Structure 1
């Protein structure tokens, strides 16, 4: 993750979701480990948020590589936007995310379209504001839960509903060369999750955003006209499942 320096130079918190016989320990004072017997990505992130000690937080995956000057870019951004609850940055383009496009200019307040397209490794968080707003990841979303995508969008939308500033800075801080968990899912499963996600964020207006998603995916050739009935049914199924959970 840090080819330009030893990892122990950074303040790192590892949430190790494990079993009793596979406990992880750290020999480095800057690298803390929490061994958890629970499962679920959002549970892991909430545990990390609760125990993090830094003023500015980044969410790391084990298959990413940070840019050498990533900390300077992040600190400069928060010096400029000291009241931002979250600041989104860019991932360097690769085969895995070659179609992802970013705005070329800074955005002082992200809209819902931007939020829905945000991944966790693009996010940086102002811990003071996150704590004050008592914002957590919804544990119904994310790998290992009932709906395995969308946890970032739910988190940021909850911040936005509390009138918190979410900024975009058009600078690269990280590389990610592998397909994401979302990319590996087929479109029927994605729409099942999207039905729940849109219901969680937009409530009774979920169907409007579902239609926008279908039109967008048709234009991007991610689905075909012949798929519309199947994806719509799958999304409605996700909607009803989330309502039942609620």
Structure 2
């Protein structure tokens, strides 16, 4: 009987060896896409599982995840970061979930940040739709390799840590999957815990954050952006020192600059016309 092969696709930086395999409690095959100042390919059998590390000097989490995708060989692919610790038996739990949901192309699972905090956890099996997809992060994504190939899915190289705009590659990937009519479910099985350290990109709800969020709105919601921009103005009103009008103008600046392919550093806010619409 054919055994379904589960494979971890981990985005990492500055790794010198394969020690992450043990640290992350990996129990399956693994592709470690590693960004450092060199080119290198390492392949090794650990506990009868194939572990590959592809090191490149490029930057950007989207590029890194795409590198992992290109070198993947599993039937079921689990996206990961190097601050994840997987639970024992995660592969069996994932395979069982796909057996329970035979029409699923992709399943979003629980990844717990704080063991005593139930906020945001998935409580039951349900469909993920275009109106509720933004609550999930990449490390919870598990997808069939066939769906990646059939629908030509990949990660944006413009969004995410190390890219032109600081975040949003995870939402764009999931949105693209839904737009291409993949059947996506959420499932209460917990696959891992997150030992989250300091963010490599988040510097607070500052001008760049709102500017980049505007660029993301333009890319993700070109029709609804004028409505959603106000959602973010109100959502972060008490979390930033900027005025509501400043956060609004910054987001519209990001929308306009995204069309021209300009980063925050390249766009001069003082040149923006008073009319932001």
Question: What is the TM-score of this pair, normalised by structure 2?
Answer: 0.76
* Partner residue in 2 for 1:143: 161
SS, match of residue 25 in structure 1: strand
SS, match of residue 78 in structure 1: helix
SS, match of residue 132 in structure 2: helix
Contact 1:61 1:121 in 2 (8 A): yes
Residue 214 of structure 1: how far off its partner (Å) = 2.8
Contact 2:112 2:193 in 1 (8 A): yes
- Shift of the 238–181 alpha-carbon distance from structure 1 to 2, 3 Å rule, reads farther
Bigger Cα Rg: 2
Q: Which of 261, 264, 267 pairs up with 1:245?
A: 261
Cα distance in 2 for partners of 1:144, 1:183 equals: 7
- Shift of the 84–180 alpha-carbon distance from structure 1 to 2, 3 Å rule, reads farther
- Shift of the 88–44 alpha-carbon distance from structure 1 to 2, 3 Å rule, reads same
Q: Does 1:192 align with 2:208?
A: no
Cα distance in 2 for partners of 1:182, 1:192 equals: 18
Cα distance in 2 for partners of 1:77, 1:18 equals: 36
Listed as ranges, the gaps of 5+ residues in structure 2 are 1-19, 263-277
Q: Does 1:44 align with 2:61?
A: no
Residue 238 of structure 1: how far off its partner (Å) = 1.5
The correspondence of residues 160-171 of structure 1 with structure 2, limited to 5 A, is 160-171=178-189
Q: Which of 29, 50, 53 pairs up with 1:30?
A: 50
Cα distance in 2 for partners of 1:177, 1:16 equals: 19
- Shift of the 25–112 alpha-carbon distance from structure 1 to 2, 3 Å rule, reads same
Q: Does 1:233 align with 2:249?
A: yes
Deviates most, 206-215 or 142-151:
206-215
Residue 82 of structure 1: how far off its partner (Å) = 2.9
Offset from partner CA, 1:117-167 (integer Å, 9 cap, x none): 211111111110111000111111111111120001001101111111111
Offset from partner CA, 1:157-187 (integer Å, 9 cap, x none): 0111111111100222111132573883311
- Shift of the 89–180 alpha-carbon distance from structure 1 to 2, 3 Å rule, reads farther
Question: What is the TM-score of this pair, normalised by structure 1?
Answer: 0.85
Contact 1:3 1:65 in 2 (8 A): no
Offset from partner CA, 1:29-61 (integer Å, 9 cap, x none): 611122223221101111111220001111121
Task: Tell me how many residue pairs correspond in the alignment.
Answer: 239
Q: Whose helix fraction is larger, Structure 1's or Structure 2's?
A: 1
The correspondence of residues 1-246 of structure 1 with structure 2, limited to 5 A, is 7=26, 9-20=27-38, 23=40, 25-28=42-45, 30-94=50-114, 100-108=119-127, 110-179=128-197, 181=199, 184-188=202-206, 189-218=208-237, 221-223=238-240, 227-245=243-261
Greater RCO, CA 8 A, separation 6+: 1
